[in-house]
Structure formats: C-alpha cells, structure tokens
C-alpha cells in the first residue's frame, strides 16, 4: 500500500491515477475481480471510466490492451444499474469534489463480496482518499508557492534571505537589478557584501540604510525566521530615496524662506545708515583732499564702507532672488565658463586658471541665459579655490545620470568634518575669520531656483570635498 501511495502522489490527472492503479489492483483484489475508475459527471451528465482489472467488464472492447482500458457511462443512473447487475460496489473516493473527483467500482463477484474482500476494498478506498487528499494539499501548496514567488519577484522592495553564516540563498528580482547581477550570481554571496552595515542587525524595523555606492536610501526590516527547521534571516528594504530627497528639498526651501525674511530686515537696517556714512566720508574726502594726515584714515573708513556695501549686496542677493534669467536656452559648458569669469571678477587674487572644466558632450541645454546659476556656481568655485592648496586643481565635471545633469566641483583641500556637513549651507556659518559664510547659501539658493539640489561629499582624513549639483 505504501508503494501505491508513493506512486499516486505525483499523478496529476485521472488517466495517470488509472495507470498507477492498474499495476497495483491485480495484487490486491481477489482473482477474477476488477475495479473501474470513474470520473465525476461532466456538464452533460456522462462519466468517463477506465477498466483496471482483467476478466469480464462492462463495455469492454474486443481486443485487450495493457494498462487501463477507457470506457464510458451515459449517466450515474447507468452506473448504478451496472453495479446492481454485476455485483459492483460503488466506493466514493472524493466526495469533496477536489481536483480528482472520481469513483471506484470494485467487483465482489456475482455472489457478493466476502467480509475480508469488503474490508480490503474499504482499506483500499481509505488509502486512495488519504492519498488524493495529500495530492490536493500538495497541489494547493504548489499553487501558493508559485503565487508567493511571483509576488516575491514582482515586488519593488528588496528581499534578501541568508543562513546563519550570512550566505545568501534567496533574493528577488529587485536585488538583482539593484546589484546589476543575474539572480543566480547573487546566490552564495555574503550578505555583508550586499548590505554592508545592515546584515549584523538583530530583529528590527524602520531603520534607514543608505547604499554608499549609489546614494539610494532604504527603510530596512530585519527578522530571523525558521524555514523548514533551519534558521534564516530575512531583510526587506523599501526604497525611500525620492521621499527623503523631497523632504530635504522642502526643508531647504523652508529654511531659505526664513533666512530671506531675516536678511531682508537686516539689509534694510544696515543699508540706510551705510548710505549716509558713505556720503559723509566722500564729502570729508573732498574737504580734506590736501590733508596728508587725514587721507589714510579716510581711505580706511571708505574701504570698510565698501566692504559693508558688498556684504549688504550679498544679503540682498539672497533675500531677493532674481527671476530666472532671460528667455532662451544656454549650454551647460557656457554656464561653467561664465562661472569661472565671475569668480575672477569677484576675487582677482584667486588663480582661476586652476579650474579644470570636463564637460560630457551632448548634455541638454538649460532654460534661460544661466546667469543666476553661473553666479551660484561661482560661489562653489571660489570656495574650492580658497580651501585648496596653492597650485592644486579644482576639477569641475558635467555629466548625465539617469534623468539629471550632474555638476561636480572637486577640490584637494582639507575636507569638511562630519559634524559640519549639515551646517555648511546655513547662512553665516564659517570656520574662517573674515569670511561671511554666505557663499554656499547663495549657491544653494541659485540651484534651488532651477529645481535642483546641492549636496556635498567629504570624508577626512581623505583630502578634498566634492559638491554635487543635480539639475532635472
């Protein structure tokens, strides 16, 4: 019986079940007895059957074939008549109407079945019922597994399963796309290699994880689970890169608006008295033009007045941003060259020859004449030239990345400490005396006007900092 059960389990349709039973029933039923496997009635009420034993049988063809012999019954009523006439016992195998709805007709001979034969028939029926039930369960599990795998692979979230040693044994298609590798090439790799800094976590959810290579941000959930008696760890990562970028952009806009309001009031309060001081100094300079002793002092006052005037103008530039340039379009390379010119005009003492422009061909043009953006980029160039060692290059690259144009400004200066990375774009933040701390704020303001973002990468003690402008 056990062997019969094992053979029936992989059978997927009634003919396959009939073929298996035809090999086993002669060993079980008494000599001369037979069985017929019959399907449930179809839409027309007819039944399909397979004769499984030897000897006489209803509707048996003249020639004998090996294995089950197909037969048919017009209706369940005909089947019942045959059972009454021929001594067949109708044993329902699948009353639930599952994937294998069928009946087994076991012959007990013309004189009826003996108690032992009836018991044998009942045992056989019970075995088939249990086996077919197991087959239905396996079929349901197979369908469920297939549906689960489809959902697993179709999900945009990253799924990584690994064993206790950290060896990955299952990933979904999203992981394959994330790594740029075929699915099979992801299997067997170390989880710490795929998800550095995350794999050692205990069970947790809601932790943010950033991929250092791509800059993409995910919210990660980690859970240790039991799979078939073996311990495994499941990581689920939901990407939130765009959400975090939008949140950061909204925060920048709010902070910038607050700063603008503050600078508007500050510029107004300084500009009026400064204009008066400047007028008086110019009048004194004319009155004491022949006084050699007074001239140096007046020159100092006038120089400082001019410095304050430049500072107020910077306040005004940030507090009252101009409209986006003139109508038309401009090439990215032209904007970069204009930025170098502006840097030289503002700070003649800086060697703008150190700026190297590397522009990828075929970049899309930008709307407007680009003057606002050029002024903002000039602040980045000035910053890079100031902090870089004398004679060191400042490398400016322009290239495409997906749907964005990226401008990177790289210097070889001392870099930016980690605790300052979130502060450098704030107005008036500076670590250098006599610098206003407005340059990076103005640069960010200009980039924001173009719908872009400005970020920085720096990791001391490695030299230098890289500012990244992403324009849609």
From residue 104, give the alpha-carbon distance in Å to each of 126, 215, 316, 329.
11, 66, 95, 83
Burial 283-301 (b: 16+ CB within 10 A, else e): ebbeeeeeeeeeeeebeeb
Strand partners, 208: 219
Same domain? 331 vs 467? yes
Pairwise CA distance, residues 41 & 322, whole Å: 83
Same domain? 336 vs 470? yes
CA-based R_g, the chain, Å: 42
Same domain? 231 vs 336? no
Give the list of residues 6+ apart from residue 410 with CB closer than 8 angstroms, or none.
384, 394, 395, 396, 397, 464, 465, 466
Tell me the pTM.
0.45
* Domain hosting residue 291, numbered range: 240-320
Find the CATH number of the domain harbouring 468.
3.30.565.10
Find the CATH number of the domain harbouring 195.
3.30.450.20
Find the CATH number of the domain harbouring 133.
3.30.450
Which residue, of 239, 257, 281, is where some domain finishes?
A: 239
Same domain? 360 vs 410? yes
CB-based contact 51:57 (threshold 8 Å):
yes
Same domain? 299 vs 383? no
Which residue, of 298, 320, 342, is where some domain finishes?
A: 320
Provide the domain count of the chain.
4
Which residue, of 264, 293, 320, is where some domain finishes?
A: 320
What are the pLDDT tens digits along the chain (472 aa)? 556 666 666 666 778 878 887 777 777 666 666 677 887 777 787 888 888 765 444 444 444 456 788 888 788 777 777 767 666 666 666 555 444 556 666 555 444 555 455 555 566 666 666 666 666 677 777 777 787 778 778 888 999 999 988 899 988 888 888 888 898 888 999 988 888 888 766 788 888 888 877 778 999 898 888 887 788 888 999 999 888 888 877 887 787 777 777 777 777 777 778 778 888 877 887 777 777 777 788 888 888 887 787 777 766 766 666 555 566 788 888 889 988 988 888 888 888 888 899 988 888 888 777 788 888 888 888 888 888 888 888 899 989 887 888 888 988 888 888 778 777 877 777 777 667 677 787 788 788 877 788 888 887 777 788 888 888 8
Same domain? 31 vs 135? yes
């Amino acid at each position: 019986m056990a062997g019969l059960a094992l053979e029936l389990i992989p059978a997927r349709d009634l003919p396959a079940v009939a073929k298996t039973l035809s090999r086993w029933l002669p060993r079980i039923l008494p000599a001369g007895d037979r069985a017929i496997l019959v399907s449930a009635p179809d839409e027309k009420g007819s039944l399909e059957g397979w004769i499984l034993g030897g000897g006489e049988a209803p509707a048996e063809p003249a020639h004998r074939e090996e294995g089950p012999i197909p037969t048919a019954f017009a209706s369940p009523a005909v089947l019942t008549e045959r059972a009454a006439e021929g001594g067949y016992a109708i044993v329902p195998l699948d009353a639930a109407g599952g994937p294998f709805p069928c009946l087994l007709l076991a012959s007990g001979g013309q004189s009826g079945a003996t108690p032992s034969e009836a018991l044998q028939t009942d045992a056989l029926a019970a075995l088939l019922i249990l086996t077919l039930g197991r087959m239905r369960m396996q079929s349901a599990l197979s369908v469920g597994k297939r549906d689960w795998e489809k959902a697993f692979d179709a999900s945009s979230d990253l799924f990584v399963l690994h064993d206790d040693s950290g060896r990955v044994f299952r990933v979904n298609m999203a992981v394959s796309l994330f790594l740029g590798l075929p699915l099979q090439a992801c299997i067997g790799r170390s989880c710490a290699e795929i998800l550095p800094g995350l794999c050692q976590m205990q069970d947790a959810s809601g932790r943010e994880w950033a991929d250092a290579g791509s800059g993409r941000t995910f919210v990660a959930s980690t859970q240790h689970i039991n799979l078939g008696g073996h311990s495994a760890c499941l990581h689920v990562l939901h990407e939130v890169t765009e959400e975090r970028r939008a949140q950061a952009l909204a925060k920048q806009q709010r902070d910038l608006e607050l700063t603008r309001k503050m600078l508007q009031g500050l510029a107004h309060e300084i500009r009026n008295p400064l204009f008066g001081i400047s007028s008086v100094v110019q009048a004194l300079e004319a009155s004491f033009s022949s006084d050699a002793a007074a001239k140096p002092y007046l020159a100092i006052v006038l120089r400082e007045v001019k410095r304050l005037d430049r500072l107020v103008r910077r306040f005004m530039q940030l507090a009252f941003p101009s409209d986006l340039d003139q109508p038309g379009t401009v090439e990215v390379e032209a904007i970069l060259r204009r930025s170098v010119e502006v840097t030289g005009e503002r700070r003649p003492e800086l060697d703008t020859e150190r700026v190297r422009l590397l522009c990828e061909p075929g970049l899309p043009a930008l709307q407007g004449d680009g003057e606002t953006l050029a002024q903002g980029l000039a602040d980045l160039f000035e910053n890079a030239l100031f902090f870089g060692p004398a004679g060191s290059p400042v490398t400016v690259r322009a290239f495409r990345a997906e749907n964005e144009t990226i401008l990177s400004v790289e210097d070889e200066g001392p870099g930016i400490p980690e605790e300052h990375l979130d502060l450098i774009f704030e107005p008036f933040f500076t670590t250098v005396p006599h610098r206003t701390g407005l340059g990076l704020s103005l640069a960010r303001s200009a980039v924001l006007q173009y719908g872009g973002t400005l970020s920085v990468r720096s990791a001391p003690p490695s030299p230098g900092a890289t500012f990244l402008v992403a324009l849609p």
